[in-house]
A and B are shown apart, each in its own frame.
Chain A
């Protein structure tokens, strides 16, 4: 089998299993209250980590670039109570313009 197909099959299978683990194995069980409170906080913890890495990580380096500027602009739009579509557009336009000017 070629290297490409080896990757496709192995990664595909692994991803199917990873995504299904929680919903198939844990979905029907009643969690203890304390565990439920931890699971509830996975949302904010993981989302905030996605924000941080997608705005400030470039492979294994921390960087301050146009994406960071876009995030600051987005935060300003959120503070002004802009709708979510505007928030996303403001970030993209900010980053795109800064790159065009650079």
Chain B
């Protein structure tokens, strides 16, 4: 009888350990996942962001967690169905202060939280976001996917797929090539898209900056455009070289979202 009790206790102990291990390391038990552990997800997040190269960034201080999550509010044009409603990896970096060698004397005034979303099936980057956590919201939010797709289709900026990593320039490389620290909110996608003179499909970093100093609209009356109509931009970078290819106001936010402005 004692032996049976002991065996049960050992079994319960082992099961408990197994449970704790799963919680602590978010180990995926899905056999179709190639990214099976939080450690692997973290490695991927570091590769895509390039933050390991950034002065002041360390895993000890900035890595918060890596977890499997299901999100339903993604608005990435053309590709949101690949993100929403699925179990994906979400790696969170906290207290990130961007430091760009291209801006040697500037200090990031924001303490940012970066979330890196990864496809557990193939390890592809789905999205990077760094939402604004302050209260002075003077910019409009990302538009809905349908509106965004309608605007982008006219200029052929149609995201076709996510990118298979092959020694691409990192998010940090792109920011350092043409970026700013004076931005409240950042979101980025690494996607395939027609670009350039021949509209060949190339890998690009599509990075949207919200809450920047207002752009200069050309033409008489350009300055009369309200700040919220000018304080965002989407930069498209060649993902191989990290160099800026074009910038655009499209997809534009929905003017109805001015209700969210509180400044």
Instruction: Answer whether A and B are interacting partners.
Output: no
